[in-house]
Amino acid sequence: MTSLHSKPLALKNVTVTDSFWRTEQELVRTAVIPYQWNALNDNVPGAAPSYCMHNFKAAAAQNKRKDTQGNAFVPPKYTFRGFEALPEDPANPDPDKFYGFVFQDTDFSKWVEAVGYSLAHHPDPALEQTADQAVDIVCAAQLDNGYLDAYYILNGMDRAFTNLRDHHELYCLGHLVEGAVAYYQGTGKDKLLKAACRFADYVDERFGRKPGQLRGYPGHEIAEMALVRLYEVTGEQRYLDLAEYFVTERGRQPYIFDIQADENAKRDADANYKPNTDPNRYAYHQANKPVTEQDEAVGHAVRAGYFYSGLADVARLADDQDLADAAERLWRNIVDKKLYVTGGIGGTVDGEAFSYNYDLPNDSAYSETCAAISLAFFARRMLELAPKAEYADVMESALYNTTLAGMALDGKSFFYVNPLEVNPYACHKDSRLRHVKPVRQKWFGCACCPPNIARIVESVQEYAYTVAEDGGTLFTHLYMGGVAKAELNGTAVELDVTANLPWQGDGKAVVRLGGDAAGTSAQAPARFTLAFRLPGWVGDESAAAAAITATGESESGADSSRVTREIRDGYLYLTGEWRDGDTVTFDFPMPVRMLAANPLVREDAGKVAFVRGPITFCAEEKDNGANLHLLHADVEALLADPSAAKVEEFDFHAGAKGIDDKGQGEVEDVTRRMVKLEVPAWREPLPAAVAAAGEGAAEVPAFAPLYAVYAPVKREPATATLIPYFAWANRGENEMTVWLRG
Amino acid sequence: MTSLHSKPLALKNVTVTDSFWRTEQELVRTAVIPYQWNALNDNVPGAAPSYCMHNFKAAAAQNKRKDTQGNAFVPPKYTFRGFEALPEDPANPDPDKFYGFVFQDTDFSKWVEAVGYSLAHHPDPALEQTADQAVDIVCAAQLDNGYLDAYYILNGMDRAFTNLRDHHELYCLGHLVEGAVAYYQGTGKDKLLKAACRFADYVDERFGRKPGQLRGYPGHEIAEMALVRLYEVTGEQRYLDLAEYFVTERGRQPYIFDIQADENAKRDADANYKPNTDPNRYAYHQANKPVTEQDEAVGHAVRAGYFYSGLADVARLADDQDLADAAERLWRNIVDKKLYVTGGIGGTVDGEAFSYNYDLPNDSAYSETCAAISLAFFARRMLELAPKAEYADVMESALYNTTLAGMALDGKSFFYVNPLEVNPYACHKDSRLRHVKPVRQKWFGCACCPPNIARIVESVQEYAYTVAEDGGTLFTHLYMGGVAKAELNGTAVELDVTANLPWQGDGKAVVRLGGDAAGTSAQAPARFTLAFRLPGWVGDESAAAAAITATGESESGADSSRVTREIRDGYLYLTGEWRDGDTVTFDFPMPVRMLAANPLVREDAGKVAFVRGPITFCAEEKDNGANLHLLHADVEALLADPSAAKVEEFDFHAGAKGIDDKGQGEVEDVTRRMVKLEVPAWREPLPAAVAAAGEGAAEVPAFAPLYAVYAPVKREPATATLIPYFAWANRGENEMTVWLRG
């Protein structure tokens, strides 16, 4: 059987010209990246300092002292100063001390990764110069042996790698590698890449199954997938081997986390220490059992998404069927039992984690932005293992819905948690919802989500295409306007795509051969396959396939077409002889789909959600009034006439004042073209006294008994106005729900 | 205007002979009280020791040393040893040290209170002797100045009353007084009562608004209502004044809790201390503002219920309209916006507290047993302020539903938290539900609920009757078989009641005059009023009134009846000339009532609950299969024909094996006569693969997509079997729900 593996097109080989994603990328480039740079240099007024660059500078200075003092240099002896260490006097941080979270280094790595992507398709000499200077600072912090984590360099290397569970050194390595590869690929500059290789080499020496090596693995995963990237860019097998080691060593007994906890307690003579004997321990870290025995996605959702991404990578490159099966099992569990209809994952705030099967609460959801991003990472890697439309469907949903919902339409505030139902009154009053913010926040002390959005948005075209390992097939996974360049069976091929996603399903892909972008000279025909995803949101695979036609399929007078079609795993494979200028047109039906959840999802019982194309919609109070739980979709009317749900393109006006003295929830005036739905609905009326009192009804005096004999609910005809989920909370604090009662 | 005040009949003047409450009282007498005694003497195998009697003995020994050593005695200097102090070696607790929670003394007080009630109507010399010996031990622990809280006596009196917010001394006083009064009333023995008075006198000297006094009040209320009882039994005005002071001082600024926190920080030179500046601070303690400014029931629900009880007591005895208005406002807020249909209160585990208005989650409910009991306390005191049927309706619901649900039918295990919906799978998997136990627990380290059940069940007849302040009216609030003795307008009157509550609404009350219980000799007629509550559960006040007839109303041949009737505030007042042997018969309709919640209760949207008489019903998995969220009440059928809900008296067989190696959830085989409902229903079928897999469906492999295009739900006809809520979880771990989808 031939391999089904494929590899993404490099970022610089794909341009993005469609208005949807260009707008998002410009937001990130012009708003997020500069903001991030200020943040990691502690230059954002009103925001808590990151201390990230401060720490690297302190480490560099220490290295210099060491060089100067030689043997007289006394390295710091380790003391634990807290998971987040803050200066006693915030106005005067000690220039020689480490501050912030143990993983604070990654602020830089994520930023430089986004910068690398941005520079790959949008040259900007000033930004590049800033980044080069930052790279210099970071590289100066590296120890001679290659170690590069400012936390231990400054706090004391005698305890490096002694608390793998909590202290994030390998997480820092992973992000550093991701950033370094992206910066190298975006600029061709390898200084940071070399530093990352040296740190990876050092880790490779220290970790493994050979005598004298530490049989450990990351407490927070990402190094696995990062090392695979490092392997792919350097060709050094040892990085792949190290990634494979981390993936396969994870969860083996005796647990390294137990061993290190024992050792640390002994070292610290900790009288209160009690070994962790919970039989399910380290599920939070996906380390409760070896991955080949795992069949349920558990624990911290971001860690999980990163781990499963690395797992899929290693499975593909090591061609390991057991690992591929594990990845598929974990994927199935997520998609069949733990996925929000917004492409989000993570049902519980406790551990920012996956909840149990089918537990997908809407109002107390965690659904972290980073977790949706990690799911997109995982999905693309599953596509690389084998092209199946389901992977792309989920990836597309995660990107268009929860990932983008993470950022305001002005690019200046962010959601960490993405609930599917919000009653702001409850968020303010109910401590059990303390993680749920009804408006986006300006920045976070633990600033993971904004930079994660930045890096995925700036590299979104890497998710659109892959090329089969044998070089004969170009897969189009996402329909995104722009030009994709690939070499197929030795021929330079360009696919010049026009698309109107996510609002309309039509578009075309013009084939250019021989690299002549202008397409003016006729190039020699070539044989290869163009495979196009049949989006699940069409609702009918045959209809989706019928919506695609290629010039070569219908040559007039030809007894057999040059290009033949085959449907496999949700992809339409168009194979044959392609000529320069051949055009593949597509016009996917994009019906409004009224979805119900599996009956085992208790939180969604009796409710429906509306999706159209890759977009999941939601109802906001701004359009529909308060008490959204009393607004019902008129399911009978919609069943009788599916066209009763009206689709309307319109100008969405974002803009809001802040809700507190910190300006949280503030959004600048921005207008974005998008689609809204007008859905037949009905409303349960409130008793008159409440209706008169208007908003904040829960504060009005009692008007009706708490319990009364049941009477049939009156139905006031109504229309529900639904906007894309990613656009919610851009017009001030208000109620929102994705699921409407039926 | 004449006073509407009334006072309960003393416990020893009311017997309980009906099978329902006799069974409950016997359970408490034979199972709970002996178990409690063992518990507070650390004699329950497998249970954490209470150390309660240990502490009193240690304090007594210390007193003895002091007496022996005289001036040479060095009192302990205070050190904080934790909110719960445990011995380093559990096998060898230090006989001189205090262990357990700061409020551990109350284990004794609650026990002796239940014992007092039990002895009042069930003499038991052996039990009385045990109690006398315990009283001796406790009294020996008292200091010469009257102070009696073993925590500070043993840990160091230099810090007594310096942490009123957290250290429960006044809570210990309150429970001691309650226990002492009950024991005195049950046995006539006043040794403990005198000790309680001395402690109260000491507190009265220390606390108040006079110069040099501490302007403090309890962190955990109960002293307020207890001091009122002490006033009522001793006639000493100073106890009422102290209660009034505690009620009216509470919540005044500057907050005593702030002042003491500042002082303690200074004393301890605590560098990390930060004053609490939350503008809503002390809402948990109902001390955020003065009670006359409070209009929402907030904070820890048990504290609140106790406080509001004391408030109503003081309002009545001080005849203070402002306080009475405050009590009524808080009552309205609870009943209109914060009351479960099971008579429970407390929507959130955070702070074991009231949640915001209309937030009444079913699965994550707190609804502590003690909170329902405190609501019954409050309700009875509202009745004492003014007889209104609503107070009695709520009191009755709290007693029959959540209070009794707190105890297994064998009296040997207990619920602290009383959810209205349980999916055991979720309870085990979901850390956000860690407070919700799907089966009753054997005992609790913080053992508040079992003793609270014991004391209210053993004194339940005190909730059935009150006599108007002017002595002319006997109110029947609860219909309970037994004899109630009262003096009405100078005549000794007995009401000999037969009733079949809660299962049937019929019964009668025979009037005996002159104390001749046998009723053989004709006594002189007398004028007075018998007032009978018209239960809200009849659904129609006129129908309820029509269901009551008195002999004196229908004398044949008389041109006007001897007894006239008037309906006022939900009571039927029968006034006139009563003759010995007159009979008041009642036959209240007891329809099955299908209730809906106010539309602002989001958690109950689209759902119905079934009640009949005072009993709230629920569906259990044992009777209805798993996935109760897919079982719908057939509301159309029930609206069309209300008699479609069948009422069936039957033998309920309790009995269950434990679910773990500690035997949690174990219930002995017990048979109880009760009523179940068979309600027309329908079921959403599960996809075939799940149905085949049976229970634990969430563990079966995926069988159907997580999201699919909505299709009308199939309706499989079904019958929902509903049992009384108080009887749930007596047949092993299983799903339960009070609210059924409509």
Closest to B564 in 3D by CA, of B509, B556, B572? B572
pLDDT of the residue at B696 = 47
pLDDT of the residue at A528 = 97
pLDDT of the residue at B688 = 66
Query: How far A737 CA lies from chain B's nearest CA (Å)?
Result: 13
Q: Is the pLDDT of residue A573 over 90?
A: yes
Residues A427-478: tens digit of each pLDDT: 999 989 999 999 999 865 556 788 999 999 999 999 999 999 999 999 999 9
- Give the distance between the most distant pair of CA atoms in chain B: 89
pLDDT of the residue at B332 = 96
Whether A601 sits inside 8 A of B699 (CB atoms) is: no
Whether A699 sits inside 8 A of B357 (CB atoms) is: yes
pLDDT of the residue at B446 = 54
Whether A599 sits inside 8 A of B687 (CB atoms) is: yes
- Contact of B711 with chain A, judged by CB distance below 8 Å, is answered with yes
Residues of chain B with Cβ-Cβ distance to A711 below 8 Å are 596
Higher-confidence residue: A234 or A429?
A234
Q: What percentage of chain B's residues is helix, strand, coil (to nearest 5)? A: 40, 20, 40
Higher-confidence residue: B557 or A252?
A252
Mean pLDDT of chain A: 94
Going A142 to A147 to A148 to A154, the CA torsion angle's sign is negative
Q: Report whether A597 contacts B709 (CB < 8 A).
A: no
- Contact of B364 with chain A, judged by CB distance below 8 Å, is answered with yes
Whether A598 sits inside 8 A of B357 (CB atoms) is: no
B338 contact partners, CB below 8 Å, separation of at least 6:
B297, B345, B347, B354, B355, B357, B358, B360
Whether B704 sits inside 8 A of A350 (CB atoms) is: no
Residues A196-225: tens digit of each pLDDT: 999 999 999 999 999 999 999 999 999 999
Alpha carbons A633 and B318: distance in angstroms, whole number: 56
Alpha carbons B5 and B390: distance in angstroms, whole number: 16
The helix or strand, by DSSP H or E, that contains position A61, with its residue range, turns out to be: helix A52-69
Q: Which of A339, A359, A707 sits opposite B706 (nearest CB)?
A: A339
Strands B707-709 and B646-656: unpaired
Sheet architecture: strand order including A482-488: A482-488, A491-499, A506-513, A583-587, A548-550
On the question of a cis peptide bond just before residue A525, with omega within 30 degrees of 0, the verdict is: no
pLDDT of the residue at B697 = 45
A118 contact partners, CB below 8 Å, separation of at least 6:
A25, A28, A29, A33, A124, A127, A186, A458
DSSP string, A477-541: -S--SEEEEEEETTEEEEEEEEE-TTT--EEEEEEEETT-TT--SPPPPEEEEEEEE--GGGS-H
B254: three-class secondary structure by DSSP: coil
Structure confidence at residue A585 as a pLDDT band (50, 70, 90):
very high
Give burial (CB, 10 Å; 0-12/13-18/19+) of A41. Answer: middle
Closest to A197 in 3D by CA, of A230, A172, A225? A230
pLDDT of the residue at A623 = 98
Whether B356 sits inside 8 A of A430 (CB atoms) is: yes
Q: Which of A339, A350, A707 sits opposite B432 (nearest CB)?
A: A350
Q: Is the pLDDT of residue A687 over 90?
A: no
Closest to A313 in 3D by CA, of A302, A301, A300, A326? A326
Alpha carbons B230 and B196: distance in angstroms, whole number: 9
Mean pLDDT of A151-176: 97
Whether A595 sits inside 8 A of B686 (CB atoms) is: no
Q: Which residue of B has its CA nearest to A714?
A: B599
Question: Which residue ranges form the domains of chain B, and what is each CATH number?
Answer: 48-271 (no CATH), 464-501+505-587 (2.60.420), 592-741 (no CATH)
Residues of chain A with Cβ-Cβ distance to B594 below 8 Å are 709-710
Share of residues in chain B with pLDDT > 70 (%): 95
Listed by number, the residues of chain A in 576-615 with a beta carbon closer than 8 Å to a beta carbon of chain B are: 593-602, 605-606, 608-609
In which residue ranges of chain B is pLDDT below 50? 516-517, 519, 559, 694-702
- Contact of A550 with chain B, judged by CB distance below 8 Å, is answered with no
- Contact of B707 with chain A, judged by CB distance below 8 Å, is answered with yes
Query: How far A436 CA lies from chain B's nearest CA (Å)?
Result: 15
- Contact of B355 with chain A, judged by CB distance below 8 Å, is answered with yes
Residues A19-52: tens digit of each pLDDT: 999 999 999 999 999 999 998 999 888 778 899 9
And the tokens for A720? Answer: 């529900």
Number of neighbouring beta carbons within 10 Å of residue B322: 12
Q: Which of A341, A704, A708 sits opposite B707 (nearest CB)?
A: A341
On the question of a cis peptide bond just before residue A254, with omega within 30 degrees of 0, the verdict is: yes
Q: Which of A356, A597, A690 sits opposite B429 (nearest CB)?
A: A356
Q: Which of A339, A359, A426 sits opposite B356 (nearest CB)?
A: A426
pLDDT of the residue at B687 = 73
Interface test with B, best of A394, A707, A737 (most B CBs within 10 A): A707
Q: Which of A426, A598, A605 sits opposite B741 (nearest CB)?
A: A605
Listed by number, the residues of chain B in 677-706 with a beta carbon closer than 8 Å to a beta carbon of chain A are: 684, 686-687, 690, 697-699, 702, 704-706
- Contact of A431 with chain B, judged by CB distance below 8 Å, is answered with yes
Alpha carbons B116 and A182: distance in angstroms, whole number: 78
Residues of chain A with Cβ-Cβ distance to B423 below 8 Å are 602
Residues A536-558: tens digit of each pLDDT: 999 999 999 999 999 988 766 55
- Contact of A637 with chain B, judged by CB distance below 8 Å, is answered with no
Alpha helix segments (H runs only) across B473-620? 541-546
Structure confidence at residue A701 as a pLDDT band (50, 70, 90):
very low
Whether A705 sits inside 8 A of B598 (CB atoms) is: yes
Whether B594 sits inside 8 A of A699 (CB atoms) is: no
Closest to B53 in 3D by CA, of B66, B32, B37, B75? B37
Going B223 to B224 to B227 to B233, the CA torsion angle's sign is negative
- Which residues of A form the catalytic set? 352, 448
CA angle, B399 then B102 then A274, to 5°? 105
Mean pLDDT of A365-385: 98
Whether B697 sits inside 8 A of A600 (CB atoms) is: yes
Query: How far A610 CA lies from chain B's nearest CA (Å)?
Result: 9
